[in-house]
Structure 1
Amino acid sequence: MARTEFSSSSTIFTDEQKMNKYEYNSKASNTLLSALSPNEYTRVMNCKSAKEIWDKLQNFHDGDSRVKESKLLVHTNEFDALKMSEGENIESYISRVLKVVNAIRGLDKELTNSAVVKKVLRTLP
């Protein structure tokens, strides 16, 4: 293996494999950071690696199992309480239903299309 020296931000690499690892981490970190909103960026701006950024974002968006369970409970209750209101058109109601359904499915709970269709048909005026 060829010995090369690479210096960046006070880090000197003499191993090509370490240099590639550093380069890949920098590219991944840059990609993640460039896709974040300002609010999300402030949460991860002190992270040193792409893995650390990813883990922090994942915890922020998914939460731990207790947070996930409580979110699922909230969305399930919201799904159960769905009802089309007077004066609401079908498109906006379906949009509301799909928003709740996608939130539930996003938390890894299986919700069949059949159950969603039945719910919509039961709750139409």
Structure 2
Amino acid sequence: MTQSIDKPPYFNGAHYSHWKNWMMIFLQSIDYKLWDIIEDGPTIPSKRVGEILIPKERHEWSDQERKQVQLNAKALHILLCALGPNKFAKVSSCDNAKEIWDKLEVIHEGTNEVKETKIALLSLNYENFKMDPNEVIKAMFNRFSIIVNELKGFGEAIPEDKLVRKLIYSLPES
């Protein structure tokens, strides 16, 4: 199955780390500011009234503020269009794109403590990785790629030179 460059990658609940990376690249390719909205949250036009900061009414927004609000709406739209009905139902009450992204992360990756545990387990799998007896190189490489890609999905990228060395050392002497 191929992916259109005009449509966001579809997510039905399977292979979250793959979808997450794919969606991040998709959003950045449309407009890097969309990714900034997901990372930092939307800018809410506001004004100071005495000591208090309150949201501005829509008719008070400047053109620049309207563009910022539009970016969140665009990111929100892209994310919602990418979700299947079950995933949509879990995030449809979110007000902005960052909330959706964060909620999907917690649902599929867990809290920070759960993420740290998963990273520790994946790191252990990486460190102990060896080619199994009677395993073909292609199958070994696929197993290795899954571990490395999952680590990358959690923000634990390993430099290419280390990956190559690890693969070479994982081969049997024969």
Please indicate the TM-score interval, normalised by the length of the shorter structure.
Answer: 0.5 to 0.7
Q: Could you tell me which of 61, 68, 74 is aligned with 2:115? A: 68
Question: Percent same amino acid among aligned pairs?
Answer: 34
Distance 1:113 1:22 in 2: 39
Identify which of structures 1 and 2 has the higher relative contact order when contacts are C-alpha pairs closer than 8 Å and 6+ apart: 2
- Post-superposition offset of 1:34: 0.7
Change (3 A) 1:95 1:46: same
RMSD of aligned alpha carbons: 3.0
Match of 1:17 in 2: 61
Match of 2:131 in 1: 84
Match of 1:124 in 2: 171
- The residue type paired with residue 59 of structure 2 is D
Q: How does the TM-score come out when normalised to structure 2? A: 0.51
Change (3 A) 1:75 1:39: farther
Cα distance per residue 1:1-39 (max 9 Å; x no partner): xxxxxxxxxxxx861639x47765544322211112344
After TM superposition, list the pairs within 5 Å mapping 1:89-100 onto structure 2: 89-100=136-147
Distance 1:32 1:110 in 2: 25
- Post-superposition offset of 1:74: 1.1
Match of 1:59 in 2: 106
Change (3 A) 1:49 1:115: closer
Match of 2:152 in 1: 105
Distance 1:62 1:24 in 2: 26
Cα distance per residue 1:81-111 (max 9 Å; x no partner): 3222233221221121122112223323352
Match of 2:91 in 1: 44
- Post-superposition offset of 1:73: 0.8
Q: How does the TM-score come out when normalised to structure 1? A: 0.66
| Matched position secondary structure for 1:52 | helix
Change (3 A) 1:48 1:92: same
- Post-superposition offset of 1:48: 3.1
* Unaligned ranges ≥5, structure 2: 1-56
| Matched position secondary structure for 2:99 | helix
Residues paired across the two proteins, number: 113
| Matched position secondary structure for 2:151 | helix
